[in-house]
Amino acid sequence: MHFGALTSEESTCYKVPVGIPAGGKRVRPPIVVRARLQMRRVLRNEHLLLGVMALAVGAVAAYGALVFRVAVDALQSVAFGAALDQVIPTIETTAWWQILLVPALGGLLIGLFLHFFHGGGRAHAIAHVIEASALRGGKMSLKDGLVSAVAHGASLGVGASTGREGPLVHLGATMSAWISEKLHLDRSQSRTLIGCGVAAAIGSLFNAPVAGAVFAIELVVGNLSLKAGAPIFIAAVTGTAIGRFYFGSEPSFTVPAHELISLWEFPAFILLGVMCAVVGIAFMKTILAVDAGMAKTPIPKWIQPAIGGLLLGALALEVPEILGVGFTTADVALRGGFALDFLLLLIVAKIAAVAVCIGFGFGGGAEKRDALRFGDLRGRDPEAAPALAEHRVHFPQRRSAFRDGAPRVVRAASLAACLVQVLDELGGEPGDLRRRRQELVQRRVERAHDDG
């Protein structure tokens, strides 16, 4: 779809002979013709139409994210008795065989589903959105997008220790690409509309329109021009408004108030940032190692998620907090609700759980949310009262100004440090974007060889 001024032929069609009759009065074009001319000029205004389409795409992507979240919560309620964003399953509240077998049986069904409907490949995530925008002019397969969304939702529903940001971004981009194809938009307009879907998905999930818009501009569009930026911000605000209507205006994480007591705390912030960076690097290296190891094994891909689910269930018997997206766990840690010894255990267990889920082929993504949790756990106040001696959700009372002050700043610094370390992972499978680039290069070499 191309927008612009009226062509000479179109202008000729609307010309009305103007002359001076015998009465001496000039004949003007009818008001209807003038209105039609003005309407055509308005409809051919690219910025206006992109803004209207951004509003529509933002609503579609936000409602797609809404359906995805509700479906995941419903599946978790069936599998574990409650949504994992609300309650952490424990041996006291959930049968041990349920925690152990639900991820395994779910992994088996997911593996078979991907085998028959997706050619045995992984569910698509953010890496594929970037590839579509950069190399295919914003064209994406609706079938692959819907199949990937089902695989992602089912994975999270059975407790996979992955995130929903990547799946929602891919789903929003897929729907936007389908709309672009139906409207016959050109390459630039299609990329802008995909950015609108991505921004709306992020905005509706995190209740953060600016973050959603910046995320889409940085990763999908690649430039902050008025032509692309304005529609993306419109879509982000639309998605956020719809998310707030259904889920409220509270932020995903509530960070307690903190107070800087002394400038001598800054060296501690720096040291803690370095420690968090080390943990973040170990997190990524572990996932890459497991992912590469499973790629070399002769185990059929359709059975790998079942094996990974069994390993995840075994870990969850000891540390059930690793199940699911983990927003509840991160929020409790931000409020100072875990003892130090359990936090150290949780760091190791979460790294192992994410590596198993990604490496063995579950849906979802190893997103920045996991790094935020690690950063928060590393910055946890060691003087906190062990109100979670049983590793359950309780909030200890604050005991001193130091506990309420500097450690909160320390945790904030550690969150930022780990976030910087994993922004390049883009919310998708850690090794996925690299593999996709390698596949593209290989295909181009083979095509050049065939042409030669």
Percentage of the chain lying above the pLDDT 90 cut: 30
Listed residue (410, 309, 348, 243) closest to 107, CA to CA = 309
For the segment 82-101, the average pLDDT, to the nearest whole number, is 80
Integer Cα distance of 237 and 336 in angstroms: 32
For the segment 157-161, the average pLDDT, to the nearest whole number, is 91
Integer Cα distance of 172 and 193 in angstroms: 10
Task: Extract the tokens encoding 130.
Answer: 């970037």
pLDDT at 68: 93
**283 in a domain, yes or no?**
yes
Q: State pTM to two decimals.
A: 0.71
Domain stop point among 185, 214, 247: 247
The reply to whether 167 and 138 lie within a common domain is: yes
The reply to whether 319 and 402 lie within a common domain is: yes
Cα 183 to Cα 20, 49, 224: the distances in Å are 45, 12, 24
The reply to whether 239 and 287 lie within a common domain is: no
The reply to whether 81 and 18 lie within a common domain is: no
The reply to whether 238 and 178 lie within a common domain is: yes
pLDDT at 440: 55
Task: Compute the C-alpha angle 95/100/104, nearest 5°.
Answer: 135
CB atoms within 10 A of CB 76: 25
Task: Compute the C-alpha angle 425/427/429, nearest 5°.
Answer: 70
Average the pLDDT over each of 182-186, 218-222, 237-241, 370-374 and give the range with the smallest value: 370-374
Q: Is the CB of residue 330 less than 8 Å from the CB of residue 373?
A: yes
> φ and ψ at 138, to 5 degrees?
85, 10
Domain stop point among 187, 222, 247: 247
How many angstroms from the chain centroid is the CA of residue 311? 25
Integer Cα distance of 175 and 178 in angstroms: 5
pLDDT for 176 beyond 70: yes
pLDDT for 163 beyond 70: yes
pLDDT for 241 beyond 90: yes
The reply to whether 216 and 286 lie within a common domain is: no
Question: Which CATH number is 168's domain given?
Answer: 1.10.3080.10
pLDDT for 393 beyond 50: no
Cα 232 to Cα 4, 186, 204, 295, 316: the distances in Å are 21, 17, 13, 37, 40
**447 in a domain, yes or no?**
no
Average pLDDT, the chain: 76
Integer Cα distance of 418 and 274 in angstroms: 9
pLDDT for 304 beyond 90: yes
State which residues form the domain around 73. 46-247
Q: Please enumerate in sequence order all residues whose Cβ is within 8 A of that of 393, keeping only pairs 6 or more positions apart, or say none.
A: 88, 328, 332, 337
pLDDT in tens, 18-72: 444 545 555 555 676 666 666 666 666 777 888 888 999 999 999 999 999 999 9
The reply to whether 316 and 434 lie within a common domain is: yes
CB atoms within 10 A of CB 180: 27
pLDDT for 161 beyond 50: yes
pLDDT: is 87 or 76 the higher one? 76
pLDDT at 425: 41
Q: Please enumerate in sequence order all residues whose Cβ is within 8 A of that of 405, keeping only pairs 6 or more positions apart, or say none.
A: 258, 259, 260, 261
For the segment 235-247, the average pLDDT, to the nearest whole number, is 92
**446 in a domain, yes or no?**
no
**363 in a domain, yes or no?**
yes
pLDDT at 57: 92
b vs e for 255-268, b when ≥16 Cβ sit within 10 Å of the residue's Cβ? eeebeeeeeebeeb
Label residue 446 by pLDDT band (50, 70, 90): low
The reply to whether 299 and 403 lie within a common domain is: yes
The reply to whether 21 and 117 lie within a common domain is: no
C-beta pairs of 222-228 under 8 Å, 24+ apart in sequence: 222/133, 222/134, 226/47, 227/46, 227/47, 227/50, 227/188, 227/192, 228/188, 228/191, 228/192, 228/195
**255 in a domain, yes or no?**
no
Residue 325, SS3 per DSSP: coil
The reply to whether 79 and 22 lie within a common domain is: no
pLDDT at 165: 85
Amino acid identity of residue 89, one-letter, is P
Q: Please enumerate in sequence order all residues whose Cβ is within 8 A of that of 124, keeping only pairs 6 or more positions apart, or say none.
A: 144, 145, 148, 170
The reply to whether 143 and 177 lie within a common domain is: yes
pLDDT: is 379 or 100 the higher one? 100
pLDDT for 293 beyond 50: yes
**156 in a domain, yes or no?**
yes
Highest mean pLDDT pick, 116-130, 167-181, 428-442: 167-181
Number of domains in the chain: 3
pLDDT at 59: 94
pLDDT in tens, 313-371: 999 988 888 888 888 888 888 887 888 888 889 999 999 999 999 999 898 766 544 44
Residue 31, SS3 per DSSP: helix
The reply to whether 149 and 25 lie within a common domain is: no
pLDDT at 366: 62
Integer Cα distance of 361 and 309 in angstroms: 10
Domain stop point among 216, 247, 278: 247
pLDDT at 414: 44
pLDDT for 279 beyond 70: yes
**448 in a domain, yes or no?**
no
**451 in a domain, yes or no?**
no
